Amino acid sequence: MVATLKDVAELAGVSVKTVSNVVNGYAFVREENRVKVEAALAQTGYRPNLGARNLRRGRTGFLALVVPDLGIPYFGELSGLVITAAQTGGWNVLIEQTRGERDRELDSIHSLGPHFVDGAIVSPEGLLADDLADLPDGFPVVLLGEQTAGFTHDRVAIDNVAAARAATQHLIDLGRTRIALIGDNPRRATAAQRKQGYTEALAAAGLPVHAVAGADSFHRHDGVLAMRSLLAGDDRPDAVFCCNDLLAVGALHEAVSSGLDVPGDVAIIGFDGSDEARYSLPPLSTIAPDKEAIATNAVRLIGERGQRAEGASYAEVQAPFVLEARQSTTGVREP
Q: 152-195, pLDDT tens digit by residue?
A: 789 999 999 999 999 999 999 999 999 999 999 988 888 999 99
**Planar angle of CA 196, 197, 199, nearest 5 degrees:** 65
Partners of residue 240 on adjacent β-strands? 180, 268
CA 86 to chain centre: 14
Low-confidence ranges of the chain (pLDDT < 50): 50-57
DSSP helix, strand, coil percent of the chain (3-state; round to 5): 45, 15, 40
3-state class (DSSP) for residue 211: strand
pLDDT at 42: 85
pLDDT at 335: 64
The dihedral region occupied by 166, where left means phi > 0, alpha psi between -120 and 50, and beta the remainder, is alpha
Strands (E), the chain: 62-67, 92-97, 120-122, 141-144, 154-157, 179-184, 211-214, 239-242, 267-271, 285-289, 316-318, 321-324
pLDDT at 308: 57
Q: What Å distances lie between residue 83 and 91, 267, 290, CA to CA?
A: 8, 36, 16
CA 49 to chain centre: 31
pLDDT at 132: 79
pLDDT at 129: 75
Alpha carbon distance 285, 173 (integer Å): 14
Read off the DSSP letter of residue 68.
Answer: S
Structural domains of the chain sorted by starting position, each given as residue range(s) with its CATH number in brackets: 5-48 (1.10.260.40), 60-158+291-320 (3.40.50.2300), 160-289 (3.40.50.2300)
Asked whether the beta carbons of 241 and 179 are under 8 A apart, the reply is yes
Residues constituting the chain? 335
**pTM attached to this predicted model:** 0.79
